[in-house]
Amino acid sequence: MSRIDALPLLLHCDDHLLAFAKPSGLLVHRGWGDDAFTLVDHAREHFGDHIHPVHRLDRGTSGVIVIARSAEAAALIQASFERGEAEKCYLALVRGIPPEEGLIDHPIPRREDGPRVPAVTAYRRRFSVSAATAPDLPAHVQRCALVEARPRTGRLHQVRRHLKHLNHPLLGDANYGKGDLNRLFRAEIGLGRLALHAASLELVHPFTGARLRLEAPLPEDLTLPFARLGIPAAAWA
């Protein structure tokens, strides 16, 4: 991805923390790849060298991410995350039609090659695609759903792994999905990325104690494919 295409949107700025809407394809930190340009590079260019990522989003995931402006702020926010005080909401387009709502309680690794640890994700189906909503698309494309996922723990690829465990993997997922189906969705509706978006994040400000709600608008590389499936804007708002 080029530098111009990868520019994130600033959602929040104060003396202690920044929040961005990260586009799909942009790495947060160079330690997770060897890209020439990352979200951390962008933040340092505009806000100085004292930049500390406190959580991560996968390269393919878009949406809200918070960066601390001091080591102290980073430690406080990370501790708040560990205590489960932050509320994250993701939007995911998945294969098939999952149950209307449920709780996935399935241990997964906290980090690559680590031991499995408890992990919990609540989910709710927001919209079911069908022949009625997308009559001109192939049957395999018609059978999918928009899901809201709220992870209660922070594990590696948690939402992606948990929805696969539910037998409803994310579309566009090269690791946990199916390549032939991903290629079909790319060809039919223009879905050329992982269909996962960190829509909102609520956390307690580490210094003021105020509850801060951050929201990232759904980017065009998801709104256009969703519209082709007949998913109304109200379902992802």
Q: Helices 220-228 and 179-189 sit at what angle, rounded to 10 degrees?
A: 90
Instruction: Clarify whether 58 is annotated catalytic.
Output: yes
Cβ-Cβ contacts under 8 Å for 164 (sequence gap 6 or more): 170, 173, 176, 177
Q: Looking at 5, 58, 105, 113, which residue is catalytic?
A: 58
Tokens 């001091």 label which residue?
70
- Residues 149 and 38: their CA atoms lie apart, in Å, by 26
Q: Indicate if the alpha-carbon torsion angle 198, 203, 206, 210 is positive or negative.
A: positive
| Contacts of 159-164 spanning 24+ positions with Cβ under 8 A | 159/90, 159/92, 159/121, 159/196, 160/58, 160/196, 161/106, 161/108, 161/119, 162/104, 162/106, 162/108, 162/119, 162/121, 162/123, 163/92, 163/94, 163/98, 163/104, 163/123
Active centre residues (catalytic): 58
